[in-house]
Structure 1
Amino acid sequence: MKIQQFKKLGNQNWVSLHKYENSLNNPLILVLGNRYQLEKTSLLSEIRELLPNGEIVCGTTAGEIIGERVYNDSVAITAVEFEKSKFIIESENILTHNMDALTLGAKLIDKLPQKDLKHVFVISEGSFVNGSALIAGLESKYKNVTFTGGLCGDDARFEKTLVGYNENPKEGEIVIIGFYGDSLDISYGQYGGWTPFGPERIITKSNNNILYELDNQPALDLYKKYLGDKASELPKSALLYPLSVKSPNRKEAIVRTILSIEEENNAMILAGDVPEGSVVQLMMANIDNIVEGASQAAITGMSNRSAKPELAILVSCIGRKLVMDQRVEEEIEEIIESIGQQAVISGFYSYGELAPFKTGNSCELHNQTMTLTLFSE
């Protein structure tokens, strides 16, 4: 595995951070950056000057992770040449098809050949897609394949997210990267660290990822009551108080964040499904617990590995970033301490994180969670 990394802060010049001295052969080029930076039409040509060949996957973020640092208003490039294995990239746009996320996910995964497929990394639009339905569609065909990834971000603006494959990124795009080969050692981990508080309530009315009623009362009214003065800052303020959702079909609680609100329906649109009958409880942050959560995610990722990771792709939540503020890099430092200095670090802060629980291979949509995918050949 050969890796090159570059970063660009604002309007400054590109800086090489982790550079393999020779040119890479058909690398996977992962480009993660602030939405305003990725909207610049000159970006692709700038990348081609740095990396003349390879497959470019772009995604907007709520913060860029490269090395031990977290940046804003930047673009971070990680280019990876797999020497003993291969990858295949496919994409679809949910806005150009008359289908929901479940159907699109199934259509997308059907494009990847099954033979020797080991893992799929997902980079999805994040402002309106139902992440739970997308995962269900992706998992509908290949039951023994694992999935990780994230929903792209747009800082705390929640205006739009952009994804692109070998073209300027655009709204509605979903990209999957299939990894092939017995030589690949891929592992993953996830953990939150948020603390539940207040009374438990039952979801009495919902539709997929839209929450209408808790205990037969309008959900948005109840939520605003808890937020108090912060209610006027919705949906941004919701990142500080996510929901713990315990549903009958899951062994572990899922954390859900509100993406947007519908005042006219007194409803909240969440990043993933919130089934009726689930038990909901508000959650709040303790920074030390959140940092410890990142450490636990790394420990999980390292638990079944046969070799030290060469590459780590981290996907963490914008809510964690807002809460930790100036301490945000502590969770990156905890991960590096667990996985080792030899691993090249890349990643982003997202609107939703994709990874299986520790106890199984089935992927879940998480919010307010640190996830990591570790690679070696």
Structure 2
Amino acid sequence: MWIEQRAWTAAEGWSKTEKPAGATSLVLYFAAPGVMTPDDIYAQLRQRYGDAAIVGCTTGGEISGDEVLDDSVVTAAIGFDKATVRIAARDLGDVSESRKIGGELARELAGDGLRAILILSDGTKVNGDSLVAGCLEAVAPDIIVTGGLAGDGARFQSTAVGCNDAMRSGRVAAIGLYGASLAIGHGSFGGWDEFGPPRTITRSEANVLYELDGEPALDLYKRYLGEEAQGLPGSALLFPLSIRPSEGADGAEVVRTIVGIDEAAKSMTFAGDVPTGYLARLMRGNFDNLVDGAGKAAEAAATGAPCLAILVSCIGRKLLMGQRIAEEVEIVADVLGGKADLIGFYSYGEISPHGFTGKCELHNQTMTITTISER
């Protein structure tokens, strides 16, 4: 297996590398919105990599090696010795189609030797929970499902995904990886601190939260945020919610990021479902814990072999950590050592098996890592 990484910026153009010999199996790319037209990105990658499968998405920031970039396009091309790749894509007509599309993509990729599915989805027109659930219903329990939701900086206006064509809005792409020669690792950790008492979700519909402990959710949330509430919905990225099924479900928490508010309904819309009856607690960031969480994700994903490490971290982490954001990528590079080539992006949601339950879920505010190596 060989890996070639490149990056493009307006000032420098494409980084100069010599393409390895042999056929390219897969090209992943992550692009800041607006830095290059989707048609140009795809055309240039197709010219260089021939018949390879080419899949990518827009971002809230790009990761290449141990660096965090903005206003760039980053790529990783892989040539497998024995493993094979198949890709599939669907267009979302409406968020209600998320579960159906997840199932359709998984069934299209199902087949002998399937080891893992990597999903890249539009980040603003999808219910990530439903997408993952539909995918899991259609594959065997031992298939690893990871990936992320495309980003648009902190704007939450329009994201795009490409799958053997130019990126466009409303797209969901899935990559199937096949072969006994593959070793797939995964890890996902947060590092946010909970504060305030646990509250029961007393009224919600899918990913829209209306009431906590019988009180309008937005009113309660604003009280806790104080002056930060003036910056909603943008400031909500810094104060996500932790949800879990019950008091007895310690360790099964998942984090949910607010992507919109409705002042009239006093409700909050999240990137994933917030089921009625679950317990919820507010969270806030601690720089050291966030960096430590990224390191734990790397420890879980490490296979000990030379690999491509695909990092999907949340835009909320990037906004909170500011200039310190490179620290979470640097610790991943340190943990994985010189055997790993790192590429990734800042997302609106991360897809990975849960570190405690092992069940694949949509996460928010985590560092999620998928490692791919070939024996």
TM-score tier by shorter-chain length is over 0.9
Match of 1:336, SS? helix
Q: What are the residue-to-residue correspondences of 1:1-377 with 2, within 5 Å?
A: 1-10=1-10, 12-16=12-16, 19=17, 21-37=19-35, 39-95=37-93, 100-142=97-139, 143-248=141-246, 252-302=252-302, 305=303, 307-377=304-374
CA distance in 1, matches of 2:95, 2:232: 30
Q: In 1, are the aligned partners of 2:39 and 2:167 still within 8 Å (CA)? A: no
> Partner letter of residue 166 of structure 1?
N
Residues 183 and 282 of structure 1, relative CA distance in 2, 3 Å threshold:
same
Which segment is superposed worse, 123-132 or 65-74? 123-132
CA distance in 2, matches of 1:153, 1:13: 22
TM-score, length-normalised on structure 2? 0.94
Match of 1:56, SS? strand
CA distance in 2, matches of 1:359, 1:257: 20
Q: In 2, are the aligned partners of 1:146 and 1:361 still within 8 Å (CA)? A: no
Give the drift of 1:100: 2.0
TM-score, length-normalised on structure 1? 0.94
Aligned residues: 371
Q: In 1, are the aligned partners of 2:53 and 2:85 still within 8 Å (CA)? A: no
Q: In 1, are the aligned partners of 2:38 and 2:167 still within 8 Å (CA)? A: no
CA distance in 2, matches of 1:49, 1:86: 21
Give the drift of 1:21: 4.4
Which segment is superposed worse, 179-188 or 351-360? 351-360
Give the drift of 1:58: 1.8
Give the drift of 1:127: 1.2
Residues 98 and 329 of structure 1, relative CA distance in 2, 3 Å threshold:
closer
Q: In 1, are the aligned partners of 2:259 and 2:271 still within 8 Å (CA)? A: yes
Give the drift of 1:358: 2.5
Match of 1:220, SS? helix
CA distance in 2, matches of 1:53, 1:115: 22
CA distance in 2, matches of 1:73, 1:11: 10
CA distance in 2, matches of 1:86, 1:362: 25
Match of 1:328, SS? helix
CA distance in 2, matches of 1:243, 1:193: 13
Give the drift of 1:23: 4.1
Which segment is superposed worse, 240-249 or 362-371? 240-249
CA distance in 2, matches of 1:261, 1:283: 18
Q: How far does the alpha carbon of each residue in 1:165-213 deviate from its partner, in whole angstroms, 9 at most, with x for none?
A: 1211111100010100001000101111000011221100001111011
Q: In 1, are the aligned partners of 2:122 and 2:160 still within 8 Å (CA)? A: yes
Q: How far does the alpha carbon of each residue in 1:208-258 deviate from its partner, in whole angstroms, 9 at most, with x for none?
A: 111011111111121122222322322210111000111149651111000
Q: In 2, are the aligned partners of 1:38 and 1:60 still within 8 Å (CA)? A: no
CA distance in 2, matches of 1:41, 1:357: 36
Match of 2:274, SS? coil
Residues 21 and 9 of structure 1, relative CA distance in 2, 3 Å threshold:
closer
Give the drift of 1:39: 3.8
Residues 26 and 172 of structure 1, relative CA distance in 2, 3 Å threshold:
same
Q: In 2, are the aligned partners of 1:5 and 1:77 still within 8 Å (CA)? A: yes
Match of 2:35, SS? helix
> Partner letter of residue 242 of structure 2?
S
Match of 1:313, SS? strand
CA distance in 2, matches of 1:107, 1:52: 27
Q: How far does the alpha carbon of each residue in 1:288-318 deviate from its partner, in whole angstroms, 9 at most, with x for none?
A: 111011111111112xx3x414210001111
